[in-house]
Structure 1
Amino acid sequence: MTATIPPFDFDAMYAKVPTVWKERRLHWHCYSWRGTGADWANDSLRHTDSADITPSAVRAWLQKPQRLIRQICSTPEEAAEWEMKQWTRARAEALTTVPDWVSDDSHERASLYELRSGNDLSQGLWVKGQSMVSWAVIGTADACH
């Protein structure tokens, strides 16, 4: 007897609107970085809080200098919109084609769901010119502004 795994209903999942972000009183810091593959591979540089480069750990963005904050968002919708702009820009110049199953709609819905759930977003793509582009949307409840 072979067990089958039923298909997952993403539409039903996304129909739920999580409110974790409200309970945690989150706002989001949006970061982006573009640089060389050599810099990206330099783990000691990426572990340096003062370095203007994507950190190795996602939440370490919050330790970076404030000059690296590209935008501050107060709602998950606003943060997802900023993230989608980064995705669209990077995808347009990606070295390899983004698979068809990663549609803009599915990407945007997943990002919004994750932000509403209180999760951070972090992505990156290799782009033309032997460069890496990365961006992150990090939630925080700190009274930092």
Structure 2
Amino acid sequence: MSIAPFDYDAYWRRPRDDWREKGLHWHCYMARMDGATFGNDLVREDPNTDAAPKIIRDWLRKPARTLQHVAKTPDSAVEWLRGQWESIRPSAGQAATAIEPETLFGRALYDLSCGTDICWGYWLSGGSTHVQLAVVGVADGCHG
């Protein structure tokens, strides 16, 4: 038995449609935290705070006011993600530019199309503010 080589540079270019079978849409979140909040597990785990949780699916337990966008398709979620990323990219420095945008957003689209959640985090210039971007897949019937 042999295992075919895996193309780590191109796997995400193959379209996926798993999200349709799973009946998903996405809730999109962004949080800015100072260093003290970022390091405070109790605050981040508290479902009543706006602080980004340590576990990505715990965004769904946070107050409704933290929900910034509802995306009906993976493309719409990536469009939201790109807009947020563009707004912080100049302040996020090398961390935000370490991966080429085509690859960064291509992988995001692939992951969301597979039904996988996304969470990105960046320290902004000066290192005192952390930004977290999260896209969490949820069942289509969650709003009604």
Global fold match (TM > 0.5): yes
1:10 matched to which residue of 2?
Answer: 9
Query: Counterparts of 1:53 and 1:134 in 2: how far apart (Å)?
Result: 9
| SS in structure 2 at match of 1:17 | coil
Query: Counterparts of 1:28 and 1:99 in 2: how far apart (Å)?
Result: 23
Residue correspondence of structure 1 range 7-86 to structure 2 within 5 A: 8-11=7-10, 13-86=11-84
Choose which of 103, 108, 113 in structure 2 pairs with 1:111.
108
Choose which of 131, 134, 142 in structure 1 pairs with 2:132.
134
Seen in structure 2, the aligned counterparts of structure 1 residues 55 and 101 have a Cα distance that, compared at 3 Å, is closer
The CA deviation at 1:7 is: 7.5
RMSD value, Cα: 1.8
**2:19–2:113 CA contact under 8 A, matched in 1:** yes
Query: Counterparts of 2:16 and 2:36 in 1: how far apart (Å)?
Result: 39
Choose which of 112, 119, 123 in structure 1 pairs with 2:120.
123
Gaps of 5+ in 2: none
Q: If the length of structure 2 is used for normalisation, what is the TM-score?
A: 0.88
**2:18–2:113 CA contact under 8 A, matched in 1:** yes
| SS in structure 2 at match of 1:56 | coil
| Paired residue total | 138
Q: By percentage of residues, which structure has more helix?
A: 2
Per-residue CA deviations over 1:62-96 (Å, capped at 9, x if unaligned) read 111111000000000000111112222222101x4
Output the amino acid matched with 1:8: D
| SS in structure 2 at match of 1:144 | helix
